[in-house]
Amino acid sequence: MRKLIPSSIAIALLCFTVGCRSNNTNQVEITLSGWQANPNEGKLLDQTIREFEAKNPTIKVKREVINSQYMDVIRTRLIGEVAPDVFYLEAFEAPTLMKFGVLEPLNSYIKPDFKLNDFEPNLLNAFKRDGKVYGIPKDFSTLALFYNSTALKNAGITQPPRTWDELRTAAKKLTSDKNGKIDRYGMGVVPELPRQTFMIKAFGGQLVDPNNYAAFASPEGLKGLELVIDQYRRDRTAAQASDVGANSNSEAFGQGRVAMTLDGAWAIPYLKETFPKLKFQTAEVPKINDRQGTMLYTVAYVMNRQSKQKDAAWKLIQYLTDEAGMKRWANQGVALPSRRSVLAGLNYDRNPIYSPFVSGAKYGTIWQAGETLPTIVTSFDNQFVSALLGQQPLPEAMKRAQDTANREIYLSR
Amino acid sequence: MTPAIVILGAFLVLPIICAIVLAFYRVQLLGEVDFRFAGLRNFIRIQDDERVWIALQNTIQYVLIVVPCQTILALLLALLLNAKIRGRSWFRVAFFLPTVTSSAVLTLIFMWIYNSNGLLNNFLSFLGLPTYNWLGDPEVALKGIMLMNIWATAPLFMVIYLAALQDIPESLYEAASIDGATTWEKFWCITLPFLKPVTFFVITIGIIGTFQLFDQSYIFSNGSGGPDNSTLTIVLLIYQYAFNRLDMGYALALTLILALTIMIATLIQRYFFKEESLD
């Protein structure tokens, strides 16, 4: 009992001070979670946040970086009701979160002076469901053809390939073989669905049917994918990163082990910093079947429905995505701003390195396809690799991938 | 007593009961929490799930190769270190080092070694042996993880064997020598029978550990279980269902199946060891 009294006094005091602190000021704290592609990007965002805090003294923003398994962490936190107030969301993951109603619809917050029409409609639509807007796209990137200018010049190729046939011819010339071991491949390939969906669409194939079942194994879908397999298996002018001992496609390109590759705008700062001697340029993805195509990736700021500080959260989203806010941190070159006016203002369309990415936004295939996509990706990636390695013919592999995915989707419904 | 019961109950018994009960439910955790009784549907679904069978096959293949290899290697190392060689304690430290390294670090180092232009392939081509794409080829990816795991866990079991070896009374060997037994006979008739309980322990722990393979194949394949499902293990599959697809009920059903498999494997092994000790 004697010990109990002092400790209870201590506890009471503690409660009192805690109470005081929250009553004392009206300051609220909100959390912003996201990933970080490079330290520079983080510095810029921190700076923007400090400016925001200076303009809104009652709001304090805690920025949190989750770099590995981002969505697993966010989903688990959403379940545990400790999710951040504002967080990044990839278009690919949006359908699931929108469906389960864990995101706050933003329609009531958006005022006309926010100019929602200024956003590239393709990007905004990725975060809409039943007429409600659940996220404000912060930026986007498309795929473009990166090519090693030195290698192309040495091989006597004067201009980057414009069609897929030209690309294959160029890749043959660029593949160099000294003493029986290929030391440079013409093309770097990433055999994953997020990079290959536009190949499925190139001849009119579809990734999913209206009921969100996988539908990529159609003859039209196979035609596009066959091009990738043919180049890898028959021409032997393409390589995966692991074939040439690199950790990523961008690294393989930077090291000069592949002379061309399709990659996003995020690779530009990386290549410039890590491989300063490398001379590279970009071009639009070569036409396939006389049609332009590429992938389109976007990320939005979304608000947690369970957030207790929704007004403050919206103020932050607005600050980061309105015209002035987007300009403030869009010129770093990791991804392109999603507002058309900002994009135009940065003159990216006239910058030779960035313009192919900008043009891709008009015809790109957005990386999103309903809430069954995670199942489809796993299944596709597994079988596509085995077709690439020649363990089974492509049509068989894709049929299996489609059946496996659809059985899983059916069983989980 | 009460605090112990409360803590054990909250962190050990309760989760087990929850897992068993929820395996019969469809659980929807994101957004509106929703439980629906599903009966045996989660278990019936396992039958139709191709990936479960691939994962089970991979895991069993892994257990069947890794457990004997690491046990024999551990025994050999222990015998070697038990012999009176010079610099014995130095060797003990050197052999034990891999166990001290965290498995994540270990995997990253090995991925660097397995790289197609990495250490291992350079070594193999130096010897004129065929090289492999250890990380990208489904045929060899799992073998790569096996090699890594044998290398990393054998030392731990080596220490256990070493302790047991030093418990064998020297007088037995002396008596055998007087009877004219060869070194081989001494090993076969004295050392091995004496090590039987330890071997049982080593194999049991080995089986449980290998059935629960997760971190290495997770890092190896960046969470996908690829290339071509070749490094997919049961625990990795459970992780994918539970945290990527949020299909908690089904993941729990798979967990129960894994627990059952491990129990059966242990029982079978116990049965064999009992049989032998009778004669």
Looking at this predicted complex, what is its ipTM? 0.79
- Dihedral sign (CA A298, A294, A292, A384): negative
CA atoms of B53 and B41, how far apart (whole Å)? 17
B101 φ, ψ (degrees, to nearest 5) = -65, 140
Polymer length in residues for chain A: 413
∠ Cα A165 A169 A174 (to 5°)? 140
Cα(A62)–Cα(A42) distance, integer angstroms = 13
Q: Which of A75, A243, A383 sits opposite B243 (nearest CB)?
A: A75
How many Cβ contacts (< 8 angstroms) between chains A and B?
78
pLDDT(A26) > 70: yes
Is pLDDT of A8 > 80? no
Q: Which of A72, A381, A412 sits opposite B224 (nearest CB)?
A: A381
At B110, is the secondary structure helix, strand, or coil? helix
**Mean pLDDT over residues A133-151, rounded?**
94
Pull the structure tokens for residue A148: 């090693």
Q: Do B30 and A408 touch (CB under 8 A)?
A: no
d(CA A33, CA A64): 5
Instruction: Give CA separation, A245 vs A193, A204, B106, in Å.
Output: 22, 35, 19
pLDDT at A349: 78
- The tens digit of pLDDT for each residue in A89-139 reads 999 999 999 998 999 999 999 999 899 999 988 899 999 999 999 999 999
Length of chain B: 279
- Given a cut of 60, whether residue B208 has pLDDT beyond it is yes
Tell me how far apart the alpha carbons of residues A55 and B181 are, in angstroms, rounded to a whole number: 90
| Contact predicate A101/B32, CB 8 Å | yes
pLDDT of residue A332: 66
Query: How does residue B83 score in pLDDT terms, banded at 50, 70 and 90?
Result: confident
- β-partners of residue A255 are none
User: Judging by DSSP bridges, how do beta strands A28-34 and A86-90 pair with one another?
Assistant: parallel
Dump pLDDT digits (tens) for B33-44. Answer: 888 898 888 898
Least reliable range by pLDDT among A2-11, A125-134, A361-370: A2-11
* Cβ-contact B124, B169 below 8 angstroms: no
Q: Are A236 and A388 in contact (CB under 8 A)?
A: no
What is the three-class DSSP state of A232? helix
Q: Scanning the structure block, which residue is given the tokens 């350079």?
A: B122
- Among the listed residues B217, B192, B187, B211, the one whose alpha carbon sits nearest the alpha carbon of residue B268: B211
- Say whether B115 and A69 touch across the interface (CB within 8 A): no
**In terms of Cα–Cα distance, which of B198, B196, B206 is closest to B266?**
B206
Place A40 in a pLDDT band, splitting at 50, 70 and 90.
confident
Q: How confident is the model at residue B244 (pLDDT cuts 50, 70, 90)?
A: confident
The reply to whether the predicted model has a pTM over 0.95 is: no
Binary contact (B138, A242; C-beta < 8 A): no
Q: Which residues of B touch A244 (CB under 8 A)?
A: 116-117
Q: Which of B244, B28, B235, B248 is nearest to A75 (CA)?
A: B244
Contact call for A389 and B137, based on CB within 8 A: yes
Separation between Cα atoms, residue B131 and residue B137, nearest integer Å: 11
Question: pLDDT confidence of A24, banded at 50, 70, 90?
Answer: very low
Q: What share of chain A in percent tops pLDDT 90?
A: 64
Q: Of residues A248 and B227, which shows the higher confidence score?
A: A248
Cβ <8 Å between A96 and B30: yes
Window from A24-38, A74-88, B241-255 with minimum mean pLDDT: A24-38
Residue A238, strand partner residues: A187
CA distances from A56 to A14, A191, A318 (A): 29, 47, 12
Cross-chain Cβ contact B243/A76 below 8 Å: yes
Contact A102 B135 (CB under 8 A): no
CA–CA gap between residue A86 and residue A98 (Å, rounded)? 15
pLDDT band at B271 (very low <50, low <70, confident <90, very high): confident
**Shortest Cα distance, chain A CAs vs residue B174, angstroms:** 56
Residues B228, A404: C-beta atoms closer than 8 Å: no
Cis peptide leading into residue B227 (ω within 30°) = yes
On whether the CB atoms of residues A298 and A137 are closer than 8 A, the answer is yes
Q: Closest residue of A to B28, CA-based?
A: A100
Pick the range with the lowest mean pLDDT from A102-106, A333-337, B7-11: A333-337
Which of A69, A101, A381 has its CB closest to that of B32?
Answer: A101
Residue with more model confidence, B31 or A365:
A365
Q: Give the CA dihedral B140, B146, B151, B154, nearest 10 degrees.
A: -160
| Tokens read off for A45 | 């965002």
Chain B: give the shortest CA distance to residue A57, in Å.
32
Q: What is the mean pLDDT of residues B174-202?
A: 91
Pick the more confident residue, B57 or A22.
B57
Bridge-based pairing state of the strands A59-65 and A28-34? parallel
User: What torsion do the CA atoms of A95, A97, A103, A107 make, to the nearest 10 degrees?
Assistant: 10
Asked if the Cβ–Cβ distance from A378 to B240 is below 8 Å, we say yes
The angle that helices A310-321 and A39-55 make with each other, rounded to 10 degrees, is 120
* Residue A302 burial (CB count, 10 A): 27
CB distance A125 to A237 below 8 Å? no
- Residue B139 host element (H or E): helix B138-165
Contacts of B224 in chain A (CB under 8 A): 378, 381-382
| Strand ranges inside chain B, DSSP E | 25-28, 34-37
Question: In chain B, which residues touch A (CB < 8 A)?
Answer: 28-32, 45, 48-51, 115-118, 133, 135-138, 223-229, 240, 243-247, 250
Beta carbons of B115 and A102 less than 8 Å apart: no
Residues of A with Cβ-Cβ distance to B49 under 8 angstroms: 407-408, 411
> Tens digit of pLDDT for each residue in A292-308?
999 999 999 999 999 99
The values of phi and psi at residue A114, to 5°, are -75, -20
Residues of A in contact with B227 (CB under 8 A): 382, 385-386, 389
Give the angle A409-A376-B60 at the CA atoms, nearest 5°.
Answer: 85
Half-sphere exposure of A308 (CA within 13 A, CB side): 5
* Closest in B30, B133, B228 to A382, CB measured: B228
CB A310 within 8 A of CB A303: yes
Signed CA dihedral, A139, A142, A143, A145: sign only:
negative
- Scanning every residue of chain A, which has its alpha carbon at the shortest distance from the alpha carbon of B26? A412
CB contact under 8 A, A386 and B224: no
Closest partner residue to A245 (CB to CB) among B45, B116, B137 is B116
Instruction: Report whether B239 contacts B258 (CB < 8 A).
Output: no
